[in-house]
Structure 1
């Protein structure tokens, strides 16, 4: 196995922001993936197609939890890096169930999808929606505010045998909570 640098995660914004004043901190988290292993025979386009399907079935308007779970390996997991919560196997449906009741119009705007070696897919995206239900936060529950949110995020997937083996979500929870009126989180 040979290591090579992977330099796709350079912010294209001269000031390190996305033009809306939001710092590019999420992408800095992804910079830890500076070196990825290369191996022959990785089906990058198929893995990317699977991840695009995963996002499609996770949309608030067309949520399909059974299909979402089916796209994961039996021991595959979903790790929310901002909260430290981890769901494995069929449990991966739980965060989507919670988001659907709190943000029924939840949408993920995919900005960039990078297919890397060894089944790694990295997605730069924005989480968007309207706060229409109770949202558990550190120290309690934030009651519905009706406010819209638009939060930067970076998701890192590891694919194995056409299934999601690992899903690490790096969302900017502090920005999310501030946009919903809960201040810094």
Structure 2
């Protein structure tokens, strides 16, 4: 299946959200392949509105297109979180607000966790290193309140990186980093976001090679 850049996928979802389309999870009954085709009602209508249109869903690299309205709504929340974390449309506060009050972001490879106001630091840090950062979504699986995504983090190294050995100056190199994201939602909000980033590949793309010789000599 051909991957599709996430900024293309999510732009319409975010615009729809800003226009007042419902993002809250709906009923969980089984849906047909045309899930989400309910007519968009005017503001003030009590009828449930679709979180994503069939056309938007068709553009996504989904592993299963038989999603319930609840699953489609959860997916819309995740896509919007990606959208506001992109370099060109960065809104760190909006990213943080997509989480529950006790929500947590776990950088599983780095062994770091962020909650509360610390969630704002997550997209700001990446955009500081890679101002044009974006995510290329390659495979999306939605299972109830869990959204699992295989993707690549891409961008240009244009911000300094503080390291134990000193400051690594930006060199304009391009990164293309394999990543796996697991989003766990509750009542239309992100309760937990586990992110697995291929840091070895990222550092290699930035021109950093691990010093195996020092590790061997030190042992």
TM-score, normalised to structure 1, is: 0.74
TM-score, normalised to structure 2, is: 0.63
Q: Is the 8 A contact 1:142 1:182 kept in 2?
A: no
Question: Cα distance 1:75–1:50, how it changes in 2: closer, same or farther (>3 A)?
Answer: same
- Equivalent in 52, 56, 79 of residue 79 of structure 2: 52
More strand as a share of residues: 1
Question: Cα distance 1:102–1:92, how it changes in 2: closer, same or farther (>3 A)?
Answer: same
- Equivalent in 146, 151, 165 of residue 120 of structure 1: 146
Q: Is the 8 A contact 1:103 1:132 kept in 2?
A: yes
Q: Is the 8 A contact 2:92 2:121 kept in 1?
A: no
Higher Rg: 2
Deviation at 1:166, TM superposition (A): 0.3
Deviation at 1:116, TM superposition (A): 1.1
Question: Cα distance 1:86–1:112, how it changes in 2: closer, same or farther (>3 A)?
Answer: same
Is the aligned partner of 1:143 residue 2:169?
yes
Could you tell me how far apart the structure 2 residues matched to 1:92 and 1:151 are?
21
Could you tell me how far apart the structure 1 residues matched to 2:71 and 2:164 are?
38
Unaligned runs of 5+ in 2: 2-27, 30-67, 212-219
* Count of residue pairs brought into register by the alignment: 146
